[in-house]
Amino acid sequence: MTSPADTVPRSYSPLSANLICMASMLIWAAALPAAEVLIRPVPPIMPPLSLTAARMAMAALFLLPVWIAVEGIDALRRTNWLRGLMVGSMIGLGALFLVMGQTRTTAVMAAVVSSAMPLVGITIEIVLDGRKLNRGIVIGLLLSIAGGILAAGKFDGGLGFGLGALLCLASVVTFTLASRLTVTSLPGLTPLGSTTVTVVGAAIAACLFAAVGMVAGLPGPDWPAFGWFEFGALALFGIGGLAISQVLWIVAVGQLGIAMSSLHINMTPFYVMVILLALGGSWNWMQAGGAALVAVGVLIAQGLIGRRLMGTARA
């Protein structure tokens, strides 16, 4: 159990912060195929509204006792719950957009559309924080976006930017802004605390969306088709792909900023491919090359490599 003085966010080295961000993306990528188990059958075992609510509720029920065990019940009393719940409702809306988009596209496509996140993140920091662009950031951003596109792996019509892609893009914008607000609008909370508060808010919002959908006559879960395998997929999507990955993500955003952290998301299509490879899929060198471009872009944008080259170019 921690004291109030222990709630000051820990500082990490750039290498550690980037590794934490990579871990967050890897866990999130693993959850995307898990969602396919629940939304791909016809009719879906869990429609988007129900899946979002169940995922958020499972993540909140996992994080709350962990937060209390680590930091004590007093941490809940010191929290600005109204502000946290408002930010969390944005996360819930973004998650709903993602699942709705994924029902109209593929897991890889959902990850590819997320390649817009670095651009969204940098735009937010320019507008709200006065961030100045330099050559390294621009080059890193371009490499990251190009790598994200290559990491898609297919250009044979499988990347149509229809309604599903637009919903995924709306999810990216909403989630990026909510991630920044999670770090900036809840001072005094640890990443675990701020993540828990906002995930609780997201769960409340998602459950309200699901309730409205039921009243409106939208289809609910197909409970007879819901077994232990489906429950495991939901647990991976909720606890792994949201609760754990979100804590790691907020740690990274607090250390690197939303712009630099969001560069990592363009590795997600490669992670999805690797996970599907383990499940019997095939290796794709184009996706691997795209992932390498993203990695180089991340390092250049943060000034971890290429400083001498940048300095020579300016001279």
pLDDT tens sequence across 205-260:
999 989 998 899 888 888 888 899 999 999 999 999 999 999 999 999 999 999 88
pLDDT tens for residues 251-291?
Answer: 999 999 998 898 888 887 788 888 878 877 778 788 788 88
Q: Which helix (H) or strand (E) holds 186?
A: none
Number of domains in the chain: 1
Do the domain assignments include residue 312?
no
Do the domain assignments include residue 109?
yes
Question: Which of 235, 114, 237, 118 lies closest to 170 in space, CA to CA?
Answer: 114
Do the domain assignments include residue 299?
no
Do the domain assignments include residue 280?
no
Contact between 125 and 177 (Cβ < 8 Å):
no
First to last CA, the chain: 53
pTM for the whole structure: 0.83
In total, the chain counts a number of residues equal to: 315
Distance, CA of 100 to chain centre: 15
Do the domain assignments include residue 211?
yes
Do the domain assignments include residue 126?
no
Do the domain assignments include residue 303?
no
Do the domain assignments include residue 214?
yes
User: What range defines the domain where residue 63 resides?
Assistant: 14-117+156-258
Contact between 236 and 31 (Cβ < 8 Å):
yes
